[in-house]
Amino acid sequence: MSGRTLTSVPRLWTETIETHRQTVHDAILDAAWSLVAEHGLLSVTMSQIAEAAGIGRATLYKYFPDVEAVLLACHQRHVTQHLAQLAELRDGPGDADARLEAVLTTYAFISHHRGRHGTGELGALLHRGEHVARAEQQLLDLLGGLLAEAAATGGLRTDVVPGELAVYCLHALTAAAALPSEAAVHRLVSVTLSGLYPRS
């Protein structure tokens, strides 16, 4: 610690401020998300969010101009977390076929919960957002890469390019939002996977 120079002090101070900002930011999103879960998407107000986050309305407005901006940030955080989770599974142990199944299963359950908890409604509301298109592209890239790997090393069909198979997978698995049980979601993953392999 004796090696710390004066110049590092402002940086540490900046970091502390940044950490504080991030903590408040996260608390706002947590509060907004609980309110959405409880009251529905369209009835949440800035006052409720401030109260639930334990901050003043003036402070809230320093972070977000309106409810839609808060919900957009909520959605971005969800999407980022899901992408990170899927990337971790893609980079995990096991052969490409096994990792593909893990990624598709997790994505199906994300869709399933989205269908049950109104996150899909949120996605529709914010659908025109550029960040949604960017996240979709990242998801397609992630899955396309893994499908290419499985086609090269496993028994995956090779008559359709990985990019098209990725589009197929993501659309097929959104059906999970309409399914009533976890068992049905597992069957959907199995059916979707069958489409990726040559027919018997």
Chain residues in the site for a copy of itself (CB under 8 A)? 124, 127, 157, 159-160, 164-165, 167-168, 170-175, 178-179, 184, 187-188, 190-200
Beta carbon of residue 195, minimum distance to a copy of itself (angstroms, whole number): 3
Structure token digits, residue 190: 């199995």
Cα of 159 vs its chain's centroid, Å:
30
Phi-psi group of 40: left, alpha or beta (phi > 0 → left; psi -120 to 50 → alpha; rest → beta): left
Q: Which is nearer to a copy of itself, 27 or 184 (CB)?
A: 184
**CA–CA separation, 68 and 60 (whole Å):** 13
Beta carbon of residue 100, minimum distance to a copy of itself (angstroms, whole number): 14
Q: Which is nearer to a copy of itself, 31 or 119 (CB)?
A: 119
DSSP state of 118: T
Beta carbon of residue 196, minimum distance to a copy of itself (angstroms, whole number): 7
Beta carbon of residue 162, minimum distance to a copy of itself (angstroms, whole number): 12
Q: Which is nearer to a copy of itself, 87 or 193 (CB)?
A: 193
95 close to 154: Cβ distance less than 8 angstroms: yes
Beta carbons within 8 Å of 99's beta carbon, 6+ residues apart: 89, 90, 92, 146
Q: Which is nearer to a copy of itself, 71 or 172 (CB)?
A: 172
Beta carbon of residue 145, minimum distance to a copy of itself (angstroms, whole number): 18
Q: Which is nearer to a copy of itself, 50 or 166 (CB)?
A: 166
Beta carbons within 8 Å of 115's beta carbon, 6+ residues apart: 176, 177, 178, 179
Residue 156 burial (10 A CB sphere; 0-12, 13-18, 19+): buried
Q: Which is nearer to a copy of itself, 18 or 164 (CB)?
A: 164
DSSP state of 174: G
Beta carbon of residue 94, minimum distance to a copy of itself (angstroms, whole number): 19
State the CB neighbour count (10 A cutoff) for residue 79: 20
